[in-house]
Chain A
Amino acid sequence: MTDLLPLAVAVPLLAALLVTALPRQAALLGVLGAAATTLAAGAVLTAVWLNGALTADLGGWGVPLGISMRANGFAAALLAMTALVALATSVYATGYFADSPKAVHFWPLWLLLWASLNALLLAADLFNLFVTLELLGLCAAALGALTGSADAVKANLRYLLVGLLGSTTYLMGVALLYSAYGALDIALLAEHIAAGGDENNAVDAAALTLMTVGLALKAALFPLHFWLPPAHANAPAPVSAALSALVVKGAVYIIVILWLELFASVATASAAMVLGLLGAAGVVWGSWRALRAARLKLMAAYSTVAQIGYLFMFLPLIAATPPGPARDNLFAALVLMALSHGFAKAGFFLAAGLVQQQAGHDRIDDLGGTAQQMPATTFTIGLCGSALIGLPPSGSFIGKWLMMQGAIEAGQWWWIVVLLIGTLLAAAYTFRVLSRAFGLEPTPLRFVTDARSEIPALMLALTAVGVLGLAAGPLWTLLGLGAGGAA
């Protein structure tokens, strides 16, 4: 049973090696590898659902000498989201790169990226997390530069350097913790830190700060988001989808683990407030810039800055809420927001890529005719937009609702103001795009024009709006089963 965890990393890794060695069959092998990886992720999800959290001791040495992997409800939920988004993106990529020589380069890096994401989500060891961050950052930057344009290469070189700075800063924090406690396993360290009391306060605080700052750089938390819009907007559409929906979430996932699990005993409410305020600033600034963006993909990239901000706003609320059902709801809402954004933003970028291919550009003001020729794609953009706004029945509606409830109960009314401003701005930028779809141009009778590319995007949009909104209940069970100390 525990072999499932390494399998979820080994399958995409082997698939990446195979498509590297056999470039002529890259697309076929890539899709097969994507399907196999999705099955492996599904098996992990099922096992966590049935049995609760899983752990695996690699090498049989046990902690602290060896490395272990683990999957709790939080990790399993993100793993499943990653699998579905990446599977849809893979199918889409077969169409997007159909006649392009870039396909040979896309598939190996793409499957390596997926392997590193799975490894990150299943890691239970701080140094192992660093290794997965390195692999993730390198693959992400290389994929982002795949278009080969000067803008893309420049933006992604900056992304690579920023990512290196972020992971090195994180590594300094890990080194401090290892010096103080002589362990790297997260659960073991959490015990040491909780038992240490005031003795090692300076070390704990310094390590938490270093690791959080390093990861916030990778997670594009305001004001460290400067690298994200150009990098995400200039990447090929399937890559943008993965960067915005998945890669950024990897860093957020580690920050949440640090604040709610590893440093739960030392992370104070006032420190969490700082992160929350930065998140709130990101919501307002990102949404505003999204509204002002001239290009569709740039708009989606700024919207990511805003959506990441919401996730950070949960941290002070969770810190201010005593353990109990209210706190569990806030944690589940955080996960639900992360999942909805993952599906919605991936669907949005995929649809934006189709619009860009059809029109030859993605200037929002000139998209009138194009939007009408592609009803399914426009519908996808509308659905994803509604999930970004947080309209019912999307998953983010429930997330935002629970956040408001939590803010009222915690007496921190100011988050509601930010939430309202962000929602209003999101509605404005979504409708700004959709308004282009209601011109006088003739509309084709066919709803779907290119099934291979349009259906995956539409599926992601429907998942964000329908599945997560109407069937969010099981998420509580999943997290309640396996979230352990985090919930």
Chain B
Amino acid sequence: MSRDWSLLLGMLLALLACVLLWVLHGALMDQPGPRLADLAAANVPYSGVSNPVTSVLLNFRAYDTLLELAVVLAALLGIWALGPAVPGFQPSGPVLASMVSWIVPLLILAGGYMLWVGGHAPGGAFQAGALLGAAGVILRLGGDPRAGLPDETMQRWLAVAGTAVFTLVGLALAAAGEGFLTYPTDWAKWLILLIETAATIAIGVTLAAAYVGGRP
């Protein structure tokens, strides 16, 4: 594309951005206020957790999160479908290797903490899973071609664990007469913790396997 066209395109996009900003400004001015935030905050005490973000993600709009976990899985399946993984890196030097053996346990510990703390403060399955995934990335950079992951069969079970537990909890609640993903208030905390634990492991495995890049 020639420079003139790029310039024209840029100007048009800038114009579009201005129009959108003006419209958004109008939308915000017409009805200032917290929208659904008040309603959500009022219902947090009944959601089983005290962190409002977790109560939205795992309770009020749990169905969205279930499908998002499936998106993460689909990304990994897409990567696996594109062929075998590229060969691993060369073994790392002694300094990096000893650092890896320090950092990886810390990352796993921090992941567990993130998972637990998500109930009442910022944290949760996605953050904890990201830390586990990071542990895998560091192991891979440190020379482990499998990024610390188990064999293929186990990887497959772990990668689907999050979505599977989430769906099965939903269906079990429906079968018990509560309705799909409708947690009874007393049980909500433990069901959310169960789902988040499975989701943490699944996200961690998925991210590490995606970094390895290719069929195990």
In the complex, the answer to whether B83 meets A148 with C-beta atoms within 8 Å is: yes
Q: Which of A2, A16, A64, A128 has the most CB of B within 10 A?
A: A16
**Interface flag for A481 (CB, 8 Å):** no
Contacts of A176 in B (CB 8 A): 20, 23-24, 27
Instruction: In the complex, identify which listed stretch (A85-93, A199-207, A362-370) lies at the interface while the others stay far away.
Output: A199-207
In the complex, the answer to whether A65 meets B39 with C-beta atoms within 8 Å is: yes
Which of B77, B168, B181 is within 8 Å of A112, CB to CB? B77
In the complex, the answer to whether B81 meets A119 with C-beta atoms within 8 Å is: no
In the complex, the answer to whether B82 meets A172 with C-beta atoms within 8 Å is: no
Q: Which residue of the partner chain B has the closest CB to A13?
A: B167
Q: Please, what's the 1-or-0 string for A275-307, where 1 marks a CB less than 8 Å from any CB in chain B?
A: 000000000000000000000000000000000
Contacts of A182 in B (CB 8 A): 31, 33, 35-36
With A3-B180, A128-B64 in contact, is A61–B43 under 8 Å at CB? yes
**Interface flag for A142 (CB, 8 Å):** yes
Within 8 A of A (CB), among B1-43: 19-20, 22-24, 26-28, 30-31, 33, 35-36, 39-40, 43
**Assembled-state Cα–Cα distance A345/B181 (Å):** 37
With A58-B179, A145-B82, A153-B82 in contact, is A108–B77 under 8 Å at CB? yes
Which of A10, A109, A210 is within 8 Å of B77, CB to CB? A109
Within 8 A of B (CB), among A182-197: 182-183
Which of A145, A178, A180 is within 8 Å of B30, CB to CB? A180
**Assembled-state Cα–Cα distance A314/B195 (Å):** 45
**Interface flag for B67 (CB, 8 Å):** yes
**Assembled-state Cα–Cα distance A200/B164 (Å):** 43
In the complex, the answer to whether A134 meets B181 with C-beta atoms within 8 Å is: no
- Return 19 A-B CB contacts under 8 Å, by A number: A6-B170, A6-B180, A7-B174, A14-B164, A14-B171, A17-B167, A61-B59, A65-B36, A65-B60, A102-B81, A105-B81, A131-B71, A132-B67, A135-B70, A145-B78, A172-B20, A176-B20, A179-B24, A206-B20
Contacts of A146 in B (CB 8 A): 81
| Residues of B contacting A: mostly | helix
Shortest beta-carbon distance, A143 to chain B, in Å? Answer: 8
Contacts of B157 in A (CB 8 A): 21
Contacts of B179 in A (CB 8 A): 2-3, 56-60
**Assembled-state Cα–Cα distance A182/B35 (Å):** 5
**Interface flag for B50 (CB, 8 Å):** no
Contacts of A57 in B (CB 8 A): 179
**Interface flag for B182 (CB, 8 Å):** yes
Which of B23, B59, B168, B182 is within 8 Å of A206, CB to CB? B23
Within 8 A of B (CB), among A97-146: 102, 105, 108-109, 112, 115-116, 119, 127-128, 131-132, 134-135, 138-139, 141-143, 145-146
**Interface flag for A480 (CB, 8 Å):** no
**Assembled-state Cα–Cα distance A17/B163 (Å):** 8
**Interface flag for A247 (CB, 8 Å):** no
Q: Which residue of the partner chain B has the closest CB to A143?
A: B81
**Assembled-state Cα–Cα distance A109/B36 (Å):** 35
In the complex, the answer to whether B156 meets A21 with C-beta atoms within 8 Å is: yes
In the complex, the answer to whether B156 meets A23 with C-beta atoms within 8 Å is: yes
**Interface flag for A311 (CB, 8 Å):** no
Within 8 A of A (CB), among B111-133: none
**Assembled-state Cα–Cα distance A362/B62 (Å):** 46
Which A residues have a C-beta under 8 Å from some C-beta of B?
Answer: 2-3, 6-7, 10, 13-14, 16-17, 20-21, 23, 56-61, 64-67, 102, 105, 108-109, 112, 115-116, 119, 127-128, 131-132, 134-135, 138-139, 141-143, 145-146, 148, 153, 172, 176, 178-183, 199-200, 202-203, 206, 210
**Interface flag for B211 (CB, 8 Å):** no
With A138-B78, A145-B82, A146-B81 in contact, is A10–B156 under 8 Å at CB? no
Q: Which residue of the partner chain A has the closest CB to B33?
A: A182
Shortest beta-carbon distance, A151 to chain B, in Å? Answer: 14
| Residues of A contacting B: mostly | helix
**Assembled-state Cα–Cα distance A58/B58 (Å):** 12
Q: Which residue of the partner chain B has the closest CB to A141?
A: B78
Given contacts A14-B168, A56-B179, 20 further A-B contacts (CB under 8 A): A6-B171, A13-B163, A17-B164, A23-B156, A58-B181, A59-B63, A59-B179, A60-B178, A65-B39, A65-B60, A102-B81, A105-B80, A116-B67, A132-B67, A141-B78, A145-B78, A179-B24, A183-B35, A200-B27, A206-B19
**Assembled-state Cα–Cα distance A119/B170 (Å):** 15
In the complex, the answer to whether A59 meets B163 with C-beta atoms within 8 Å is: no
In the complex, the answer to whether A105 meets B20 with C-beta atoms within 8 Å is: no
Q: Please, what's the 1-or-0 string for B70-96, where 1 marks a CB less than 8 Å from any CB in chain A?
A: 110111011011110000000000000
With A115-B70, A148-B83 in contact, is A202–B60 under 8 Å at CB? no
In the complex, the answer to whether B62 meets A58 with C-beta atoms within 8 Å is: yes
Which of B19, B24, B31, B182 is within 8 Å of A59, CB to CB? B182
Contacts of A131 in B (CB 8 A): 64, 67-68, 71
In the complex, the answer to whether B63 meets A58 with C-beta atoms within 8 Å is: yes
**Assembled-state Cα–Cα distance A200/B33 (Å):** 16
In the complex, the answer to whether A20 meets B159 with C-beta atoms within 8 Å is: yes
With A17-B164, A20-B159 in contact, is A66–B61 under 8 Å at CB? yes
In the complex, the answer to whether B67 meets A119 with C-beta atoms within 8 Å is: yes
Q: Which residue of the partner chain A has the closest CB to B153?
A: A21
Contacts of A179 in B (CB 8 A): 24, 27-28, 35
